[in-house]
Amino acid sequence: MKKLSTLRKVLAVAIGTVAAAAIAVPASAAQPGPTGEMGPAVVGGTRAAQGEFPWMVRLSMGCGGAMYADNLVLTAAHCVSGTGNNTSITATYGAVDLQSSSRVTRTSKYVYRNPGYSTSAGGDWALIQLSSPITNAAKLPIATSTAYDSGTFTIIGWGAASEGGAQQRYLLKATVPFVSDTSCKTPYPSLKAAVEICAGYTQGGTDTCQGDSGGPMVRRDNANNWVQVGIVSYGRGCARPNYPGVYAQVSALSTAIAAKARELRV
Ligand code: ARG
């Protein structure tokens, strides 16, 4: 049962405060689509158009991220090992197809991992400083108030299309509704409600999954521009009924993110 134990390990790391022993791994929570195929990545999603989410980044450790400045990618703390010089990460930008010849790549130079993440405070965010900027990169603004912490969110990623499934070549997207902290504490009693926000359908079927971590959860603001409200963090399995996805709540972390970014940006 190598695959199963590997998944357990991934989940144990990802879920953190949820006891690993409590995680059951079913054969699959995803259902075949109307044409019989298994749904594409970001379980229950569809293909994103080239240029639709221009600030979206794939990171070589198998995570997502979003451009915050020409030389900074915002991702999840659990995607990186710690703070310090780090030249091991490749960021891929500018293409929904990770094998596209028009993709843009950069190597990391430095990583800042929110120190609060490993404490009771939580806050699953990190900034990756690139070795050279992507000049005039599309940047994703982060939510600075709770004004957009409700409604319908868009989730995006190259992660697994189903629990235990393969990483994807083409970027996928889906929409999921906000889930209140009160509701989210039923499946996740140790939810850090001050710094986490949940999203998903009661009936499941649509969710982020392994490999989507660190990527943005977004919605439109009042000016119809994308704003980042979440960072893919964890969930029990993927797309299971009554188990929404849990995201770092960007509005609660934005002051700290912006302050660190000011130090690190070009
Ligand atoms: N922690 C996972 C990762 O590293 C993301 C899990 C998201 N799970 C979910 N059910 N929304 O990629």
Q: What digits encode the pLDDT tens for the residues 145-168? A: 999 999 999 999 999 989 999 999
| Bridge partner residues of 84 (DSSP) | 111
Helix-then-strand count for the chain, H and E: 3, 14
219 CA distance to ligand 1 middle (Å): 19
Residue 131 neighbours by CB distance under 10 Å? 13
How is 40-63 classified by DSSP, letter by letter?
A: PTTTT-EEPPTTSSTTEEEETTTE
Task: Reply yes or no on whether 70 is catalytic.
Answer: no
Is 208 touching ligand 1 by the criterion CB < 6 Å?
A: yes
d(CA 174, CA 33): 14
Answer yes or no: is pLDDT of 78 > 80.
Answer: yes
The model's pTM is: 0.86
266 CA distance to ligand 1 middle (Å): 31
Task: Reply yes or no on whether 78 is catalytic.
Answer: yes
98: tokens are 């990770």
In this prediction, residue 197 carries a pLDDT of: 99
